[in-house]
Structure 1
Amino acid sequence: MKNLNKAYIVAGSFAIFAFTSCNNDNFLDVTQYDKDPSHILYETDANAISGMNGVYDLMQPDEDGNGDGDWGFKPNLFTGCHPTMDTQATAWDKNWNIQKWGPDSKELLDGWKQCYMGISRANDFLAGLETADKLTPSVKTTLEGEGRAARAFFYNWLATTFGRVPMLATGETYQNTPQKARAKTYQDMWDFIIADLEAAVPLLDWTPLNSQYGRCTKGMALTYLGDAYMWKAYRCPETQKESITKAAAAYKQVLDKGPYQLNRSFTTLWDVNGVWDKEAIWEEVLDAGSDWGTNDNSKRTSTMFTKYYSACPENGGWGSLFLSWEWYSSYEKGDKRRDGSCCTGKIHNAADYESYFPGITQSPTYGRNPYTQQNVGNGTADSKTLNFHFYNGEYAPSIWSIKFWRNARAGWDGDTWCPTQIYWKRLPNVMLDYAECLFILNGGDDATAWGLIDQLRNRAFGNLEVGHADELKAKYLPGIQSTIKFYADKGQADTKIPTAYPIPFDTTLVNVTPAKDYYTALKAKKGFASEVWKVAVNEERRKEFNCEWCLRPDMQRSGYMADHIEHNYPKRNESDLTNTPWSNRTFDYQDSKMDMPIPSEEIIKNKLCDQNPGY
């Protein structure tokens, strides 16, 4: 299987595009390709395909290792997860947990620039494509679909992060259009994005051009089209019925006609041998090819930063990503999504907390990252992981994501190959979004919608693994063995080549409580104000998509964020977090803050661009 994102895609001399917005004073400091005028880009199919690769290049982090190359983790984690409080941070990063981000937040500016760089390239590419008469018609058609879908992808992040943003159309860049007002209304903005996606859908196939996974497909365009219609319904309530109906139709095509299917095991989704499995609709693969043990800046940017950000600091990580005990306690005993998502430090008297954390001490990820074979704290006085929290100047939950800290250890000495998968859209996104549409259209109760949620819960409890353990082991274990062999060959005594998958595959079917029954009881227990279906859809999102950048946007457009913060993170009086597992929320949630501030630098340089209220 070919994979476009298997390494950085650089369009070489054919990427003759506007490189940035007005936010970059150095945009003219680029190589001049006087001998390769832009018309060469469209003289052959191969050249045009390379040109489109220059747009895809902006879906990857900057590879120069200068500190601005974090796209795919920052700002995406900060804007897409931290506001939910299910993921947390320390130092200045903790402002993203307490609604204290501001116009001068560097991460917001970095994301703004990254997206408008991609949009500028897409606009130049699409403008040239309009008069390209030497290309094979089928190739030209596909490339137009890719260009429109890619532009919509970048606009989706901007629109779901900042609210209304400037909309640059085909041919417009911040070089030739340095002053541009924001979209006048939410409807204008979302209609622009929807038009791109509706145009892209018939131009694209279900399988990517030349079987290069990482290129936009019909499934990707339809999934983002459904998302765009749901956002339009949220921003423009007067369009709700029409918009939700169209969103549902887009999702139904993906479910009925797409080539996608659930992985049998949730736990394998982030494995090195799981890239572009059939569950993936749109993912970003951070990968430096086959380089092992490299430590230069360009490789470190793509393959290593997510590992450092995610790992326990006692094991070589930086500690930008912690998961909350409130999130951990949301799982039922036997839900393998918890173990497949995180490892914890050991805690004192763990058995006393079984009612909060069902099965914690029996978990293969309790006090250990089984994928890297590293212990995580020991809960004693000589460890910075004390009871429920890690302490390194500030307290943070002693839970770390193994979605990213999985394929390599976090030390700086001789780092192993560490591909990382960033899922933007996978099949469960479509299943839960479609379920939400059906609930809205059918008065809050729909058998098909409940059935989709039950399918995810059935997978979560390991029932799809039953009868397939040998098949799953054969596919996924070799990647784990290769990683551990790397460390064993270096003489590290704590490594042993595994003969079984780190989280055992289930061999016996279990009965899973139907979603409707379980969430009816949970709503009553916790006092949620939302309808039962809304609790079900969004609590499943918390369990399914922790540390995936869709979490905050999906919960926001569902209208669940305020309810979630109020009841999952109630204000408490505890001041000593070493004696309680819970988060200490001190702020009052403001829904208006979910429209994040337009970066100050943009406001200064683009005189037509105004600021969001409250900033």
Structure 2
Amino acid sequence: MKFKIKQYAACILIVGLSLTQVGCKKYLEENIKHGIGQDEYFKTETQARNFVNGIYTSLYMFQSGDAYGENPWITLELLAGHGTTLGQSQNNNNVIFERTDANNPSFNTIWRQSYLGISEANLAIQKIPTIPSMTDAAKKSLLGEVYFLRAFFYYHLVRLYGDVPLITEPVDANSPQLYPERTAQADVYDVIIADLITAQASGLAETDQTGKVSLGAVNTLLASVYLTTAGYPLQKTENYAKAVTEAAKVLNKYTLFDSYDYLHDNQHKNQGELILQNQYLLGVATNSISALIIPYGLDVGSYHDRFGALIPTDEFYNSYEAGDKRAEEQQFFFSKYDSYTNPGTTINFGAHALYKYFHKESLVNGQCDENWTLLRLPEAQLIYAEASNEVNGPTQAAYDALTPIRARANLAPLSGLTKETFRAAIWKERYHELAYENKAYFDIQRTHQIYDVKNNKFGEATSTANEQGVTMTTKYYLWPIPQREINTNTKLKQNTGW
């Protein structure tokens, strides 16, 4: 399924040297295992399409991990402070209590898989324009997907690790970029923005229901980038206005589901409010999402195990407003379910688990092919509201962006707020609507505020304790450079405190 590529000591994966496995038809459906040299590849549009399909598979990095749920999705949520782990993972407990180190497997997974995707994107950007049988329009559109993917990977790298090596061309064994130095965050963001602007002009479809990048995904990601760069550490506040512009392009292109169930079933993959998802397919690529969120060892479904790797804290669950539909049983959360081996018997969890990720289709066969959502409409709506408030205060348009989200949750629209109270309301809505979607930790980074759910307010991240009684230390604004990278490339210097 993935490209197997020779890895050099610097741990920057080099596509330019060997290609042993090309991309998957429709991203998931074809697995070609015979070796194909670079000189024989990139001759036809089909080859180019297959290669680009293969770049998408690096997005699996969020669910990549071992049997105890030690994967980046879980790590990001535990660092945000609103989750516990009822499983067996020492690494996950070390993350919760901020005693982890640069050997944490999640830190390495994101680094490795992101640079794999980037290396493949760089090769595609170099080779696709040389294919004589492709029309210019086909080349441009396909490259639009590639530029988005490269931007997506760099966006995660720069937020998680800070200054990172910026590589925009294929690397071979003689390249000076084989052992790269770190590049300033501002320069990395310049490339991210440039890539997304290029993707905007590539002729991509407004929306896509096959799992491919669309113009809607490009605009949403660019809005997110502008919102992030307006906050810490760059504080380019002029980018709030740019975030408004980009988010506005998305608001009328997608439609909110009328049922929260559609966020995690198979029938509604890539539809409605889902702007971009990571694709899974039974028999081709599966994941452990559903098993990870079931409390440890309980008899729910036929999964090989139930890990309890990510369980919301009671305090976070109780922070939802009275009457909020999302807090009702089997909406975003559930506290009980029928026994799998003893039908008719109800199992009480003793906790509020994440029904938001519960995949009914996999209960019988134990094989979860639930898609992982990367971008959806409520995020664009919330970006628009927040950025607009920073530019102009609480306008009606900003209120209107939140109203559909709140209406679906059976909550009244907001009105009459000051800029400061509206900002806090938007941040709270982000936590509640985008709960456990890998947004909260990045919000902490860019705002330097955490959601103090016990007191229903926001406080300085490094002086406000979370539900576990942990107060974030400054070094946790960034992840460490993985230790294996430090060991093999002496030009890489570790982040402060790690």
TM-score range, shorter chain: 0.7 to 0.9
Distance 1:408 1:16, change over 3 A: closer
In the TM superposition, what is the alpha-carbon distance from 1:89 to its structure 2 partner? 1.5
Cα distance between partner residues in 1 of 2:173 and 2:385: 40
Partner of 1:134: 133
In the TM superposition, what is the alpha-carbon distance from 1:429 to its structure 2 partner? 0.4
- Establish whether residue 23 from structure 1 lines up as the match of residue 6 from structure 2: no
Partners of 1:149 and 1:197 within 8 A in 2: yes
- Establish whether residue 335 from structure 1 lines up as the match of residue 234 from structure 2: no
Deviations 1:246-302 (A, max 9, x none): 22111111225xx3111122332212212111201111132224xxxxxxxxx6xx4
SS in 1 for 2:111: helix
5 Å matches for 1:59-458? Answer: 59-60=59-60, 67=66, 74-79=71-76, 81-90=77-86, 91-92=89-90, 93-172=92-171, 176=175, 177-183=177-183, 185-207=184-206, 213-235=210-232, 237=234, 239-241=236-238, 243-256=239-252, 259-289=253-283, 302-313=285-296, 314-315=298-299, 316-339=305-328, 340-344=331-335, 367-368=336-337, 377-378=347-348, 398-408=351-361, 415-442=365-392, 444-458=393-407
TM-score, L = length of structure 2 = 0.83
Cα distance between partner residues in 1 of 2:173 and 2:370: 32
- Establish whether residue 549 from structure 1 lines up as the match of residue 438 from structure 2: yes
SS in 1 for 2:256: coil
In the TM superposition, what is the alpha-carbon distance from 1:34 to its structure 2 partner? 10
Distance 1:103 1:36, change over 3 A: closer
Partners of 1:120 and 1:174 within 8 A in 2: no
Distance 1:558 1:24, change over 3 A: closer
Distance 1:18 1:445, change over 3 A: farther
Deviations 1:9-46 (A, max 9, x none): 66xxxx68666883389999984999843244332211
Code of the aligned partner of 2:431: R
Distance 1:334 1:440, change over 3 A: same
Q: Work out the percentage of aligned pairs sharing the same amino acid.
A: 24
Cα distance between partner residues in 2 of 1:117 and 1:23: 9
Of structures 1 and 2, the one with the larger relative CO (CA 8 A, separation 6+) is: 1
In the TM superposition, what is the alpha-carbon distance from 1:309 to its structure 2 partner? 1.2
TM-score, L = length of structure 1 = 0.68
Consecutive unaligned residues of structure 1, counting only runs of 5 or more, are 1-8, 290-298, 345-366, 379-384, 390-397, 462-511, 521-529, 572-581
Distance 1:24 1:189, change over 3 A: closer
Code of the aligned partner of 1:312: P
SS in 1 for 2:371: strand
In the TM superposition, what is the alpha-carbon distance from 1:49 to its structure 2 partner? 0.7
SS in 2 for 1:318: coil
Aligned length: 468
Partners of 1:41 and 1:51 within 8 A in 2: no
In the TM superposition, what is the alpha-carbon distance from 1:333 to its structure 2 partner? 3.2
Distance 1:39 1:267, change over 3 A: same
Q: Choose 1 or 2 for highest CA Rg.
A: 1
SS in 2 for 1:515: coil
In the TM superposition, what is the alpha-carbon distance from 1:591 to its structure 2 partner? 4.3
Partners of 1:162 and 1:595 within 8 A in 2: yes
SS in 2 for 1:432: helix
Distance 1:553 1:371, change over 3 A: farther
Partners of 2:55 and 2:120 within 8 A in 1: yes
Code of the aligned partner of 1:308: A
Cα distance between partner residues in 1 of 2:156 and 2:445: 14
